[in-house]
Structures are given as structure tokens and as C-alpha cells.
Amino acid sequence: MGKEETYEDTVLLVTPEEMSKERLSQFSVLESAKDFHEKLLRFGELKKGLAQRGLKFGGRVLLIGNVGTDFEAFIQHLTLEIPIKLVRVRLERVLSRQNQVSVSVGIWFEFARRNAPCILYFERVENLAPQSSQESAMLTLEMERVSWDEDEVLVVASTSNPREIDRDFLSTFDRTYLSEGTTLEDRIRLMESVLRGRSDLDPGVIAELTEGRSFQEMKNLGVDLLMKEPGGDEPVSREHLERIIEDSQVLPVARKRHFDSFVLRAEGRQPPPLEAAEQVYPDDFLDQLYLMAVGNDYQQTQKVIETLNSGLPLSAQDHEFLSDYPFLLKGTPEDRLTRLLRAKKSNDRLRRIMGR
């Protein structure tokens, strides 16, 4: 197979004119795209000064979000607004020929350079750069060699499973945008667009009742609500809307907490409420559990404890973290902080002993 045939087989080139302009986009992701676009414009003004200081803009962006996040909104905005060509790695072709990934890596980047200026986009990048793999090593080397400064190539990658990605590869990104799920404004704007003309369905109330749902789940729910026959021009009550949403068969399975709950119910069991955590964990076992949480993610453990202790509302990410570590709900604020500090000291000592 010739080189040009290989290009055509593993990547897809899309021009701004070919990009669809009619789509429902996640507002918070669009805001991230606008922020990056502003930085890119600013780089145009400061390029010479950065070079004189031995600095680079880079232009390698990682998008992290839960399953169902509208990463495409980021790509579409940049493609249309810069405007710029898009080189999309065809994941379905790559996964069907897993043994050829290492050979294809260089082809993707070379193709992007040939079509510069452009965006090189990797969706679900955890499938291309698993930890300690030959594929991730090749991708890391290529990422270190490409930049907007010298090649006019922007690299954007998206993932919902960052823990599965090789750490060396992750370190090549100079900017990361994190989506912690849909915001209230995301959901309101989407429902206003989907349910336009339906005076009986209040987008604001629906948005309030659907906290924690992904953007894709919200679109599915919007379609289901739109297909229901209107009962009149008067707005449906909040209680009735809540029942309609519960009976919609559009389940919020993107988040682990919700998914585990549905699995338990399908098995005929009821998930224990988070409030029951105080009765589940014996006191002498808590220190070991805290050490496990701190070892896995100290910053998020500290953030959740500070939020719990301050009495502030928990974010969707906090709720998901607590579904994995519900024992953090046990005890007084002082007890949580004491156990956190003790676990941090123990974890630091273990890391020193292990030479990490």
C-alpha cells in the first residue's frame, strides 16, 4: 500500500466549508474553545517576544470530561472561527488494525504538517496511548516534535478515561481543559433549543431536575420530552416534570454512581444511601481507607473534605468521588482533617521508602 493510500485510510481531512454549522453544542465546552482561541490570537501578537525568551506557545490541548461530554463543540468552534482545516484520526480504522498503530503514528503527524495550518484531533485518546505501551512512546516522541510555533499544527486530544493514558504522553500537553459535567447553564441552553415552542415544558425546571446528567444524556432526554404530546399551554408542574423525567427511560448512566445504582436495581438490590456510610466503616479501619484515598488522589480528597467541612454544595465531580470513597462522610470536620493529615504523612513516608 502506498503512502498516500495509507493517509487516506487512517486520517480524514475536513475543511471549514465542509464542517456542519447546524448543531447543538455544550455551552461550557464552547467557552473553553473561545478561551483557547483568544490565547491563540494573543500568541500571534507575542510570537517574536516568546521566541526571544526561548519560549513556545506549543498548541497541544487535552480535553477531559465525563462520558457524554460534547468535545466536538471545541473542535467545531476552532475549525470555523480561526478558520482552519481539521485532520481527524479515524479511530474506528485504527482500532480494527491495532498492530499497525505504531507505524501509523508518524503518518498522522506528517500528514498534519503537509496540510498545515490545521488541527490534528485524537478522540478517545486513551485507546491510542495506553500506559507503558509502544504506541504511547511513539505518540510522545511525535508530540514533542510538533508545535504551532514551528509547524502551524494544533494538536487536540479528548478523553473520558485519563487514568488509562500514559503519563509521559500526558506531560506533552501544554493546556488541559476539564469539563466536570454539564453546568446548569449548559442544560438550560440545550433545553431552550430543543424544546423551542413547547410552553408546557420549562427548560429551567428541567435543568434543575437533571443535575449530573451528561450533555448527550440531556439531548436524548430532550428528544424524548419533545415527542410527548403537549397537555396544553400551561407549564407542567415541577412534580409532574420530575415524574415525566423519571419515566422517560433515558437513564443517566454516564456517571459511575448512577450506573452502579442501576446495576444494583437490575439485580434486585437497593443501593445503600451515602448517609449510611457512618454506620458501615469501623473507626479503626478508617485510617487505612484514608491512606488509600490520599494515595490515589490527594488533591481531590482534600478538596472534597474542605467542601464537606465548609458546608458548601458538592459538585458533580465531588459526588462521583464520594461514590468511590463514601467513608469521607463519616466523622466531624476536625476528625476528617486529622485523618487526612495523618494519611498524607504516611503516604509521603511510603513514597520516600519506595524511592518515588
Q: CATH number, domain at 237?
A: 1.10.8
Residue-level pLDDT at 2: 38
Assess if residue 271 is contained within a domain: no
147 and 87 within one domain: yes
| Cell numbers for 149 | 510555533
Question: Nine-digit cell at 323?
Answer: 461514590
Q: In the chain, count H helices and then E strands.
A: 17, 6
Q: Which pLDDT does position 272 carry in this prediction? A: 56
Residue 54: inside a domain:
yes
Is residue 259 in a domain? yes
For residues 31 and 164, membership in a common domain is answered with yes
Considering the domain boundaries, does residue 272 fall inside one?
Answer: no
- The rounded distance, in Å, linking the Cα atoms of 319 and 349 is 29
Take residue 314 and report the three cell numbers written for it: 458538592
Within-domain flag for 117? yes
Is the same domain home to 15 and 156? yes
Q: What is the pLDDT of residues 283-314, one digit of tens each?
A: 667 888 898 999 888 889 999 998 888 887 78
List, for residues 126-154, the tens digit of each pLDDT value.
999 999 889 999 999 999 999 999 999 99
Q: How many separate domains does the chain show? A: 3
93: Cβ contacts below 8 Å, ≥ 6 apart:
9, 10
Is residue 292 assigned to a domain? yes
Would you say 111 and 7 are in contact if contact means Cβ atoms under 8 Å apart? yes
Task: State phi, psi for 85 to the nearest 5 degrees.
Answer: -75, 155
Burial readout 120-146 (b: 16 or more C-beta within 10 A, e: otherwise): bbbbebbbbbbeeeebbbbbbebbeeb
**Same domain as 112, residue 153:** yes
Q: Can you tell me whether residue 315 is helix, strand or coil?
A: coil
Residue 150 sits in the same domain as residue 73: yes
Give the span between the Cα atoms of 236 and 234, in whole angstroms: 6
| Domain's final residue, options 179, 206, 230 | 179
Least confident of 7-21, 58-72, 90-104, 323-337: 90-104
In the predicted model, what is the mean pLDDT of the chain?
Answer: 88
Contact 309, 337 (CB under 8 A): yes
Percent of the chain scoring above 70 in pLDDT: 89
Shared domain check, 122 and 105 = yes
* Of the residues 221, 240, 266, the one at which a domain ends: 266
Output 249 or 68, whichever has higher pLDDT.
68
Peptide bond into 117 cis (omega under 30): yes
pLDDT at 273: 55
Residues 172, 242, single domain; the answer is no
What is the predicted pLDDT for the residue at 1? 34
Q: What is the pLDDT of residues 268-284, one digit of tens each?
A: 776 555 445 444 555 66
Distances (CA, A) of 12 to 18, 142, 151, 178: 12, 19, 19, 26
What pLDDT is recorded for position 333?
A: 86
pLDDT above 90 (res 335): no
pLDDT tens, residue by residue, 178-210: 998 899 999 999 999 999 999 999 999 999 999
Structural domain span for residue 197: 184-266
Instruction: Categorize the per-residue pLDDT at 348 as very low, low, confident or very high, splitting at 50, 70 and 90.
Output: confident
Joined grid coordinates for residue 209: 431536575
Q: What is the pLDDT of residue 96?
A: 81
pTM, two decimals, is: 0.74
Is 212 found in the same domain as 290?
no
Q: Which phi and psi angles does 201 have, rounded to 5°?
A: -115, 115
Is residue 273, in this structure, part of any structural domain at all? no
Which residue would you say has higher pLDDT here, 165 or 94?
A: 165
State residue 270's pLDDT score: 63
Q: Report residue 187: phi and psi, to 5°.
A: -70, -40
Q: Domain check: are 56 and 108 in the same one?
A: yes
Please give the residue that has the higher pLDDT: either 335 or 36. 36
**Are 167 and 311 in a shared domain?**
no
Kindly state the cell numbers that stand for 331: 466523622
Write the pLDDT tens digit of every residue in 59-72: 999 999 999 999 99
Choose the weakest-confidence range: 22-26, 250-254, 328-332. 250-254
3 has a pLDDT exceeding 60: no
Q: Residue 87: which CATH number? A: 3.40.50.300
Angle between helices 215-227 and 238-246 (to 10 degrees): 110
φ/ψ region of 249 (left if φ > 0, alpha if ψ in -120 to 50, else beta) reads left
Q: How far apart are the first and last CA of the chain?
A: 46
Q: Residue 283: its pLDDT value, please?
A: 60
pLDDT for 313 equals: 79
DSSP states of 267-289: TT-PPPPGGGHHHHS-HHHHHHH
Out of 147, 164, 179, pick the residue that ends a domain: 179
Burial 235-259 (b: 16+ CB within 10 A, else e): ebeeeebbebbeeeebebbbbebbe
In a shared domain, residues 199 and 302: no
Instruction: Determine how many CB atoms are found less than 10 A away from the CB of residue 273.
Output: 8
Q: Give the least confident one: 7-16, 54-63, 151-160.
A: 7-16
Cα-based angle 134, 131, 57 (whole degrees, multiple of 5): 85
Q: Is the pLDDT of residue 266 over 80?
A: no
22 domain residue, yes or no:
yes
**Domain identity same for 195 and 323:** no
Grid cell, residue 207, equals: 435543568
